[in-house]
Structure formats: C-alpha cells, structure tokens
Structure 1
C-alpha cells in the first residue's frame, strides 16, 4: 500500500536496468526511496522491490507498460562498445532511443536522463580538460561512438519545456567498478595471454576513469535538477572522477593489485599507430577470404596513447556535482571486488 501512496515524482523506470551501470542506478534509487521499474531484454538480477518489464527497446508496445505512471526515465541501455555488430548499435542507440522518446511523450513522462559518452567529442587526438562546448566528433573513433552522437542529439533536441518534457545527457568516461563485465575482466584476460608487457607512448597521457557510483550520482542529480527553466534542460554534462590519471598508471594499479605484472616495455605512439593501421589494412584485404577481429586497432592505440580527460565545471555549477568516491577508494573497492581474478602464486 505504501508504494501506491508515493508521489509520481518518486516513480521511475531504468531502461537497461539489468546491465552494469543500470543495476547500480537501481540500487541507489531504491536507497533514496524511489519506486523502480526496470525495462530490459533480460532480467539480470532478483529484487522483490523492483518491477521488471522484459521487451525490445525498439517496440513501443513493449515499452509503454514500463513507463505508465512514471515521472523519470533513466536510459542507459547499450550494446557492449567492443561488439562489431553495426546494425545492433544503430538499432539500440538510435532507433531504440527514438522509440523511447516517443513512448515517454505518449504516456506523459516528464524527465528523460540519457547516459551518453564523453567520447562523442573525441577523434583520437589529445583532449585536455575538454568542455561540453567542443563540437561533436566529425570523425568518431568507431561506429559505436557514431551512434552515441546520433542518440545524444535526438535526446537533447527532444527537450520540450512547453509540453512539460525535459531531457539531459550525462557523459561519463571510462566507467569501472564492481561487477563491470568489461574493463577489469578484459584487462586480466589480456594479461593472462601475455599481451600486457608493452605500454604505448611515454606513459604520461592523462585519461579520465570514472567510478560507477559517481556516474550514478551524476544521473540522479540530473534527474533531481531537471525541471522547467532549469539550466540543465536540453544540455550534456561531463561526469567523471575529476582526477585524471596516466592511462598506464591506472591499468598498472589494477594489474598489480590482482598480482599481475605491470607493462614494462614502451612502444613509441607513432609506431604503434602505424602498425595498427597496417594490420587493419591487412585484415580488410583478406576479409573476403577470412574473417579476423583484431584487438590491436588504431582506435585502441589512440585510447591508450593520447590525452583524453574532461572538465566537470558545468556539472558542478549547474547541479552541484562532486564525485562521492575518490579514485583511490574506487580502485581499492574495485580490486577487492575482483579478488576471484587474482593470480595465485
């Protein structure tokens, strides 16, 4: 009965709530007294306080029941960035997001908070303390990012104060933390196969890594600040740990924390980039005969060897954002949560 008496402003739906970030958002919303629906293609966890709706993001018929009577929608559904399924990226990130916007408007949802990506302004060249005023990448680093740009543009353009519909985009960078299925597991798998002996560049390039709880904090702050005449309506916001760290220092701390060796040899950035370009060309030439998915790509070389960190000043000013977990605390918690991946002996 208590649930029914809660005001609509405390009822929300997390689209993609079974995923890594989505689950963390759900847990924090429950802690804050929200009534939570989860919409996803699968049910990723058990929680009797959550109502699950299973369906296809591109089907308005599937979406509508999950959005009935809801005031806020958090949209963080996304395929894994390292997939090579272009059709899936376009379908989920662009077509699906259009459907979400239509469904929100149809049932009277007031607020839509999108989890975008800081990479929408990254072209493989140094970005130091980049602000949201930088233009979208005209040459995105991959197709995933290309569709995230399309997605973000759709959501921000849908902001419609006259009709009581408000939108905002959160741009995290390098999300990590407990239960992350990608960064740490992939790093350890690479180390096990003996491919983490080399670092690209001089090891000084600063990068943002963002603890999952800080991304959650940014999402919920945005939702709570999203209302008529608010500064954040129709805008994008960088949300990071606000503590840029050398890329290879971060990876080394995770590796050493789990009893693996840190990379000790260096490859000049230009050499690594041209080798990756050469490999990509070779893969393209032989693709009619044999399909190979290389892990050593120009995009990954750029991510590992350039500066890419972002300013959170706009988020601090417009919604009082401040990271709730420091990078040192975040690394410690993350390493502890992956103790099962620790190398023995």
Structure 2
C-alpha cells in the first residue's frame, strides 16, 4: 500500500453496513484517501477480526475517523460531510424491513437530506449504491437487460420501491450547484459479512425447506461479489472526477459478468457448507397459490403480523425467473471490470461463514460414492432410481401409469377379469394399429417398435433371479414350518398373515392404493431422514427389549422353566445337525 502525500477526503455513509465495510477497506488500501466512516451507531466498535487490520491502523494514524450520523437529521449529515469532496452513499445495515415509515425515512428522506447537505457543503461527487431490483417486478424474465429498461409501474417489494425513489432523487440532483451524481445497480450482492443471501439459504437448510427448489431450475441469475461492488464505486468516482458527460446523472448495472443458474449457485453454497442440495422441484405457480392460501388463512385468523405474500413474492420470483444484466455500459464508461471471480468470491464467502457449516448427517450427501441403506435394500437398480425419485419425470411417469392401472382394474366398476380382458383387447388394437401406420405422417417419421422391446434383457434376468431367491427363501420358511421345529418362525408367520387378513378384510382396493402411495413416498422419506428414523427405531427397539425383560422377570416360574428347557433343547438340535453335516 502506497500512501499519498496529498490524500483526498471522502465520506462513506452507512460505512458499517455490508457494502460500506468493503468500500472503506478498499479505499484505505489504495492509500490516497482520508476516509470518514458515517453510521447510526453512537461509537465505532471493531470486530475481533478488525483489531489488527488496515482499518484499526488507519484510525490510529488519523487516515480514518468515525462519525455518528442519523441520515434523517440534516445537521448530522452536514457535520459528517463538511470539507469532503466525495460522498459514497451505501445501504443501511439496521433497516427494520417491516416498518414502512422507518424505511421511508432512512431511504427516501435520507437521500433528500444527503443531497441537500452535499449541495450546501460544496461536495463535488455523490455515488449512490442502488440495486438491480428496482427494474424487476417478477412478471417477466430479464435476459441481458441494460439501463434502457424502465422501472415497473408497481413494486411487490417495498424496499425496491423506496430504493427506486431514492435513486431517482440522486440522479435528478446531478449538475446542481456543481454536484455530479451517478448510481450503481449491483445484482444479488454476496460476500463475507453478507446478511441476506447466505444466511437466508442456511436458515432454509436448517428448517428443511432447502430440499425444495422452485421452478424447473434452469433460470439464470447474476451475482456480484461485494468487493467488486466496492471497486465499481471507486471506478465511478474516478469517472465523475473527469466530469464525463456519459457518467454524470446515469445509472449502471454491476455484476460479476458470470451468469449462473440460480439453483446451481444455491446448491454450491449448501454443499460446501455441508447441507443437502435441493432434490424436489416445485412448480412456481403452485408455490404462489400456497402462499396466497397461507396469507388468506392468516388474515382470517386475525394475525397482525406483516403480509406474508409481499415479502415471499420477491423471493419466489427471484428463485424462478431469469435475471441477467448487461454491464457493457459500466465497462465502457466507468472502466469497471470484476477484480474477484465468482468462484473465488464463493470460496472467500464460505470461508467467512464456516461457523454456519453443518456437521450433521447431511454431510454424507456430499460424498456421492456413499450408498444409502434404502438404495441397497431396493437393489441399486431401476427400481431404486424410480422409488427414490432420482429422475422426477421418469418416476412421475411410472407413478401415473400405475395409478391409471389401479383405476382400470379396481375403481372403474368392472370385475377384475373383465378389466383384464378389456385391457388386453385395448393393447391388441393399439399394437396392431401402430404396426400398420405408414412410415411417414405429415412429414414426421414413425418409429417402428423394435423386437428387442419384447425380449428379456440381462438386467431383467437378474431381477428374475432375485425373484427366484425370494421364492426359495419362502419355500425354506414353509419347510421349517412343516418340520414343526422353529416356533419363532411359526409365530412370525401367524402374526403376519393375521395382519394381512385384517387389511384385506377391510378392503383390497384400499390396501393396494395405500401400498402404491407408500411405495412412492416411504422410501424417499426414509432416505432423507435416515439417521432420524433409525434413531427413533432404536428407541422403540430398546423400549420393547426392556418391556420383554420386564415380562420375563414377572412370568410364573413354571413357564420360565419351560421356555428355558425349550431353548436348550432347540440349541442342542442345532448343534447335532451341524455335526452330522460336517
């Protein structure tokens, strides 16, 4: 770091906020600035990591100073910026986002007070940190959007509305009393100290909602590392210093110039922190209707909390819409280009959030080579892929097909035999009709059914072998019952058949329908909560074991003696059989 002998004085309003902190450090590292940090706290409290940093050194040498400023108080603002040549106006860190009046006073009225103070104190340049959210209303995708996009007529998000008003005030103040202004519109800022994106994603993971993604998962978004935002502010100040007509009064989009799929970015954050990446895709329209229903129920129940749909709508649209921006204007007119790549930014961010890393069972999902118990149980083949929803479209197709067959054979009102005959007749007509179709229909080629479709593959033969093994195991159980030697197997079979009898006695149709739903849900749920379910099963097993021990201690002595003699006799027969075989 080279310290300039004639440094210039600047003010970073809300300098202890997310963007403000990064901007202060970057200005101090340049060495040609005296930085005034202005924020709402009464005193400057350095974090433990800042005790021996560039900031603490600058404060001790006088290159940095702190001012308590309430932007709603004009005198506070004037006192802080008096004698400075540049004001960087960044976002406040302590916004009460559900208090509309407070947010209006800080964002809109604060912008008016800052502009007025800058004009009165002869400040030359004012750079405002706006947001790309001010041109996004969620009703349409934005592909490579530039500064010509108009602001929406109506905002679903209150903060975006207020930010748009503040930006308009700053830009309209350009070239009055010698004040030059411009605004920067970063998209989805993240980095060390982030209070929104990363904490929100982690909170969703801890609550279990991160297992779901909204939409098809193909929507692209632009993210911006916080240090790149700070660098863009300095680039804008240098451009304004030369009174460039193409910069003054303008707004510029700022991104990392690396658009990514929104849900890939979320998955990357989750996986590197040890959480499970989203597995289930939910249609965005269905989620929106659910939010409307929840909000309606809250209103009917008389809840006085803030409207749920307003805040959730912004998150929903961000997660399901395309939002990419063109930064060519910023590159051309203010000389902006990212100084930290997206990959490096993610690494630096997650290193700073290591305290939020998960050390629980989700870590096993980071290792794609580790096989779950239920996957092993289902044979790790096609059946496992279908019942564990590895491919949602394929699984849903199979589920829909089985539901249709269930309706055809059990719910349509016909007997099972007549349904089977109708099904075979229909299949015959379909196969024969498909076979006599011409090779071309209206310019589209008709693919012929290959004979291999009706043959049994080697994989299917393995499945048949598995079925044969199950059959042989069943025969072994029947053989043991016929010999009358194993009472435990007898009781297990009797209890199992009795429960089957109860189920079928109630309704065979209900039993098959329940089995169908159970097959497509239980295995998937067990894989997601394997350790939790195993823990519960262990508790129940230990409880049953203790109960059996209690029963054994309280049964009559004659019954205990009979069971003990039976056990010894059974063990002796087993040893005799082994000796004969040897």
TM-score bin (small chain): over 0.9
Q: Deviations over 1:25-76 (max 9, x none)?
A: 0000001121000111013536314211102101111111211110110000
Confirm whether residue 176 of structure 1 aligns to residue 190 of structure 2.
Answer: yes
Bigger RCO (CA 8 Å, 6+ sep): 1
2:210 partner SS: coil
Evaluate the alpha carbon distance shift between residue 291 and residue 334 of structure 1 in structure 2; reply closer, same or farther with a 3 A threshold: same
Q: Whole-Å Cα distance in 1 between the matches of residues 319 and 45 of structure 2? A: 31
1:58 partner SS: coil
2:314 partner SS: helix
Evaluate the alpha carbon distance shift between residue 255 and residue 146 of structure 1 in structure 2; reply closer, same or farther with a 3 A threshold: same
Evaluate the alpha carbon distance shift between residue 322 and residue 82 of structure 1 in structure 2; reply closer, same or farther with a 3 A threshold: farther
Confirm whether residue 25 of structure 1 aligns to residue 23 of structure 2.
Answer: yes
The offset of 1:299, in angstroms, is 2.0
Correspondent of 1:116 among 123, 130, 136 = 130
- Whether contact under 8 Å (2:14, 2:93) holds in the other structure is no
- Whether contact under 8 Å (1:174, 1:210) holds in the other structure is yes
Correspondent of 1:277 among 288, 292, 296 = 292
- Whether contact under 8 Å (2:16, 2:93) holds in the other structure is no
Q: Which moved more, 1:276-285 or 1:10-19?
A: 276-285
Q: Which moved more, 1:172-181 or 1:41-50?
A: 41-50
Q: Whole-Å Cα distance in 2 between the matches of residues 63 and 258 of structure 1? A: 41
- Whether contact under 8 Å (1:159, 1:167) holds in the other structure is yes
Q: Whole-Å Cα distance in 1 between the matches of residues 142 and 357 of structure 2? A: 34
Evaluate the alpha carbon distance shift between residue 80 and residue 311 of structure 1 in structure 2; reply closer, same or farther with a 3 A threshold: farther
- Whether contact under 8 Å (1:19, 1:44) holds in the other structure is no
Correspondent of 2:85 among 67, 71, 88 = 71
The offset of 1:277, in angstroms, is 2.6
Q: Deviations over 1:314-344 (max 9, x none)?
A: 1011112111111111111111111111111
Q: Whole-Å Cα distance in 2 between the matches of residues 142 and 193 of structure 1? A: 24
Q: Whole-Å Cα distance in 2 between the matches of residues 301 and 289 of structure 1? A: 22
Of structures 1 and 2, the larger Rg is shown by 2
- Whether contact under 8 Å (2:69, 2:80) holds in the other structure is no
Equivalent residue number for residue 327 of structure 1:
342
Count, aligned residues? 339
1:159 partner SS: coil
The offset of 1:196, in angstroms, is 0.8
The offset of 1:272, in angstroms, is 1.4
Correspondent of 2:206 among 173, 189, 192 = 192
Q: Which moved more, 1:165-174 or 1:332-341?
A: 332-341
Equivalent residue number for residue 256 of structure 2:
241
Equivalent residue number for residue 302 of structure 1:
317
1:226 partner SS: helix
- Whether contact under 8 Å (2:17, 2:93) holds in the other structure is no
1:297 partner SS: helix
Correspondent of 1:157 among 162, 167, 172 = 172
The offset of 1:278, in angstroms, is 2.6
Q: Which moved more, 1:36-45 or 1:112-121?
A: 36-45
- Whether contact under 8 Å (1:208, 1:245) holds in the other structure is yes
Confirm whether residue 38 of structure 1 aligns to residue 37 of structure 2.
Answer: yes
Structure 1 segments, 4+ long, off by >6 Å, are none
TM-score, scaled to structure 2: 0.56
Equivalent residue number for residue 396 of structure 2:
none
The offset of 1:112, in angstroms, is 0.2
Q: Whole-Å Cα distance in 1 between the matches of residues 359 and 162 of structure 2? A: 41
2:144 partner SS: strand
- Whether contact under 8 Å (1:28, 1:216) holds in the other structure is yes
- Whether contact under 8 Å (1:64, 1:107) holds in the other structure is yes
Q: What stretches of structure 2 of length at least 5 have no aligned partner? A: 51-55, 361-582
Question: More helix by proportion, 1 or 2?
Answer: 2
Q: Whole-Å Cα distance in 2 between the matches of residues 275 and 214 of structure 1? A: 38
Q: Whole-Å Cα distance in 1 between the matches of residues 4 and 210 of structure 2? A: 53
Q: Whole-Å Cα distance in 2 between the matches of residues 309 and 85 of structure 1? A: 30
The offset of 1:292, in angstroms, is 6.0
Confirm whether residue 6 of structure 1 aligns to residue 6 of structure 2.
Answer: yes
- Whether contact under 8 Å (1:277, 1:297) holds in the other structure is no
Correspondent of 1:255 among 270, 287, 295 = 270
Question: More strand by proportion, 1 or 2?
Answer: 1
Equivalent residue number for residue 202 of structure 1:
216
Q: Whole-Å Cα distance in 2 between the matches of residues 320 and 291 of structure 1? A: 46
Evaluate the alpha carbon distance shift between residue 289 and residue 250 of structure 1 in structure 2; reply closer, same or farther with a 3 A threshold: closer
Evaluate the alpha carbon distance shift between residue 307 and residue 80 of structure 1 in structure 2; reply closer, same or farther with a 3 A threshold: farther
Q: Report matched runs for 1:133-152 at 5 Å.
A: 133-152=148-167
Q: Whole-Å Cα distance in 1 between the matches of residues 185 and 327 of structure 2? A: 10
2:38 partner SS: strand
